[in-house]
Amino acid sequence: MSEVSDKVDAVETLSDGGVCYTVFEGSSQEDVAYAKVFWSSLCLQPPIESSLVALDITQRLKVAKAPQTSNTVPTEPPWSKNDEILQKAYQLQMQDEKQRYLEMAKKHDEIMALLKKHREDRIKKEMVSRLHKPRRPELTERFSCKAPPEVLDQDIKEVQELV
C-alpha cells in the first residue's frame, strides 16, 4: 500500500510543476515507445501551413474612395463604336437567317400542297377505275370445289398410293 501512495505522491509533485507525465508501468518498452509517440503527437500544435489566416497578409479590403464628381461631359469610349458595328452586323445576320427560314417554310408549304394535290388526283383515278375493275370472287366461291366427289375420292386414293 505504501508503494501506491509513493507513486501517487510522485505523480502529484510532477503535475504541480505544470508538466504532466504519463506512467506506463507493466508495459513492454515497445508499447511505451508507441504510447509516448501517440501522446506527444496529440500535444503538438498544427503546422503554420495549415493556418487559415496568414499573419503577414491583410485580410480586409481597402475602403473605397469617394467618387469624384465633375461637370465634364462623359466621352464615349472608343469600343462603343465597335459594339454598334458588331450589333448592326448581328442584326443583319439574324434578318438573313430569318428570311432563309421563311423561304424554307414557304417551300415546305408548296411541297405539301403539291403532295396533297397528287394524292387527291390518285384517289379520283382509283374511284374511276374501281367501276371498271373485274369483281373479285367471294371467299366461299374461291375455295369451293367444282369437281364431283367421285373425282376427289379417286385423287385422294392416287396420292395415298404414291406415299
Prediction pTM value: 0.34
* Alpha helices, DSSP H, located in the chain: 2-16, 29-43, 79-132, 139-143, 149-162
- Give 89-101 pLDDT, tens digit per residue: 999 999 999 999 9
For 54-81, how does the pLDDT look when each residue is reduced to its tens digit (9 = 90+)?
A: 666 665 667 778 777 766 666 666 667 8
Contact 12, 18 (CB under 8 A): no
Q: What are phi and psi of 58, to 5 degrees?
A: -75, 135
62 or 39: whose pLDDT is higher?
39
* Average pLDDT over all residues of the chain: 77
Domain locations in the chain? 2-46, 86-131
